[in-house]
Structure 1
Amino acid sequence: MSSTPAYIRKDVTFRSGEDTCAAWLYLPAGVANPPVVILGHGLGATREMRLDAFAERFAQAGIAAFAFTYRHFGDSTGEPRQLLSIKRQLADWDAAIAHLESRPDVDGTRLAVWGSSFGGGHSITVASRHPELVAAISQCPFTDGLASAMALGPKATAKGMPTLAKDLVAMVRGGEPAMIPLAGPPGSLALMNAPDALPGYEALVSPSMPFRNEVAARVIPTIVAYRPGKSAKNVKMPILFCVSNTDSVTPPEETIRYARTAPHAEIKTYDAGHFAFYLGEPFEEIVADQIEFLTRHLKSKAR
């Protein structure tokens, strides 16, 4: 006995600057002009690292989902590879919004953004800049670079300075970037070296898309200076903050403090770690809350 699929998935590309971002568009079966939520991942991650799991659930609930990979990573274009530019990533979000607003198979007037970790910080920034959005979700968000640097510790931060200096020279001379690991064991040189960081990343790696655990070190000062939580007060639409009570990367106290400044914030806390939300029971709990939130706000705005 055959069953009707709940959604179809399309491979999509869209232009961002001079480059092309790769994406998946999940369209719920039997739903004309569905609302759509855009999904962007965290620090150096690609859409293959469990964004598909969230997108599938949203599509099964009747909401189209658009999961994309930033320029310079995965199968999106952009040189040099593994360049984490906050400015360019935010431009990728803008380009994704513009792309969906122009598509005939979704309702571009009912758009939401969803970001996790570093992407959770981006979703706050993007929502503050796009008042036309209907809703936003910020999952275990990076909200304050200085607070995250303090959580990493001054010794760990100092370890990255020689690599940063080498990469800045390479940038000026047009040479190959000097790389720093995204995640590493405790005490190691990495942007994240909490005990759950490296195992957390490795648990999300897809065999279909090998993961490069490194980025150009020039991103270090921009990460420390990035404070997307400050934009929360300018988010005019409903925004759901999903916060880990035991977050080892993005201190929950800072996140909640910023979240409370958003005029229409909904805050939910969970006893799961920063990297635990993508799998098992923590995933089931958080995705159910997100589906309820998106259904309540996106479907109520039907034309």
Structure 2
Amino acid sequence: MLKTLILAAATAVALGSSAFAAPRVERVTFTSHGEQIVGDLYLPEDLDPARPRPALVVTGAWMTVKEQMPARYAREMADRGFAALTFDFRGWGESGGARRQHEDPGAKIADIEAAVAYLATRPEIGKDRIGGLGICASSGYMVTAAAEGAAIKSIALVAPWLHDAEVVEQTYGGKEGVARLEAAGDAAEAAYRRTGKQALLPAASPTDERAIMFKVPYYTEADRGMIPAWRNEADPAFWRGWLTFDAIQAARHLHQPFLMVHSEAAAIPQGAHKFYARLTGQKQELWLDNVAQFDFYDRTAPVKAASDAVAAHFSATLGDAGEAGQ
């Protein structure tokens, strides 16, 4: 019944989305902890500063840049009348930061908070109508930012990667597998502190077994995630910070309306179920059949299904994208 209700609402949003003009993209900058953040703000052409609309911060998978899956979903949201901001986290893409390609949950959470604060300064946007859309790994960062007090009024997650210590052990080869990765990360961190140089590895590769994501699709496909804007490198010193990051603990502190779109065929669904069970506020979930993790990033059918459900959720919780707000 819940799936039917969500899909019915999503259909209504999809049918109404044709009323909005094609979005325009504005390059924007703001700061986070003294470093410049570069973003793309997707704005419907008929946006009127006198009638502020709801806006979304859209973030993607780990080790990615704004032009990958965040751009796809930001455009989908803008097509449905929402303003949508994507950006490069510090150390990634076009944004500042001396240490590059380093997956740092704490820093990324802070950057989401800075992005929300930036959106609140825009005259086209209702400062009390800002939502967060997290995809894959950044889902954990998004819910943590919201739980810690960022002015995020509603949350949607697509194919969320949500783990705690138990899920980490299930995913990375038990206690021994986790210990090996942490040791490798600690060695890379020690070398960085000693020399000031990063020992970067391939982020993804179909042939190089050193890659963080070995034989993983999307990132290794030129017509998908392997785009010129993406630098295919990763700092292996990230491992301990990533493996000890607990996204699931945020659930008990989360009070914003919540939607999750996932599939049992995608990554670590057990983490998503565990997180959802701990939520005490308004919540909805939509589970799609037989959708792989990476297909949520750019395949037409799952992206449309997820985007329709997400737009319906934000319309219900932030107000319709065509309505005036403050």
Shorter chain as denominator, the TM-score bin is 0.7 to 0.9
Report what 2:10 is aligned to: none
Matches within 5 A, 1:16-165: 16-32=32-48, 33-130=52-149, 132-146=151-165, 147-154=167-174, 157=178, 160=181, 163-165=184-186
Measure how far apart 1:182 and its partner are.
Answer: 3.3
Query: Residues of 2 paired with 1:134 and 1:7: CA distance?
Result: 23
SS of the residue 1:201 aligns to = coil
SS of the residue 1:170 aligns to = helix
- 1:199–1:131 Cα change, 3 Å: closer
Say how many residue pairs are matched.
294
- 1:14–1:172 Cα change, 3 Å: same
Report what 1:265 is aligned to: 283
Q: Of the candidates 160, 167, 170, which is equivalent to residue 191 of structure 2?
A: 170
1:223 and 2:242 correspond: yes
Query: Residues of 1 paired with 2:162 and 2:261: CA distance?
Result: 12
Letter of the 1:57 counterpart: E
- 1:257–1:231 Cα change, 3 Å: same
Q: Which runs of 5+ in 1 are unaligned?
A: none
Query: Residues of 1 paired with 2:92 and 2:209: CA distance?
Result: 23
Q: Give yes or no for contact 2:38–2:94 (8 Å, CA) kept in 1.
A: yes
- 1:9–1:233 Cα change, 3 Å: same
Q: Which runs of 5+ in 2 are unaligned?
A: 1-19
Q: Give the TM-score, by structure 1 length.
A: 0.88
- 1:134–1:165 Cα change, 3 Å: closer
1:252 and 2:269 correspond: yes
Query: Residues of 2 paired with 1:35 and 1:29: CA distance?
Result: 15
Q: Give the TM-score, by structure 2 length.
A: 0.82
SS of the residue 1:281 aligns to = helix
- 1:201–1:145 Cα change, 3 Å: farther
Query: Residues of 1 paired with 2:300 and 2:284: CA distance?
Result: 24
Report what 2:220 is aligned to: 202
Measure how far apart 1:95 and its partner are.
Answer: 0.7
Letter of the 1:293 counterpart: H
- CA deviations 1:158-191 (Å, max 9, x no partner) are 6646642431222321421123443455993444
Query: Residues of 1 paired with 2:66 and 2:151: CA distance?
Result: 25
Query: Residues of 1 paired with 2:145 and 2:226: CA distance?
Result: 27
Query: Residues of 2 paired with 1:187 and 1:152: CA distance?
Result: 19
Measure how far apart 1:21 and its partner are.
Answer: 1.1
Q: Give yes or no for contact 1:160–1:180 (8 Å, CA) kept in 2.
A: no
SS of the residue 1:200 aligns to = coil
Query: Residues of 2 paired with 1:89 and 1:185: CA distance?
Result: 28
Query: Residues of 1 paired with 2:207 and 2:272: CA distance?
Result: 23
Query: Residues of 2 paired with 1:43 and 1:79: CA distance?
Result: 18
Letter of the 1:43 counterpart: W
Q: What is the alpha-carbon root mean square deviation over aligned residues?
A: 2.4
Letter of the 2:308 counterpart: A
- CA deviations 1:237-259 (Å, max 9, x no partner) are 111111221124xx212211211
SS of the residue 1:102 aligns to = coil
Measure how far apart 1:214 and its partner are.
Answer: 2.6
Measure how far apart 1:5 and its partner are.
Answer: 4.4
Query: Residues of 2 paired with 1:149 and 1:181: CA distance?
Result: 23
SS of the residue 1:267 aligns to = strand
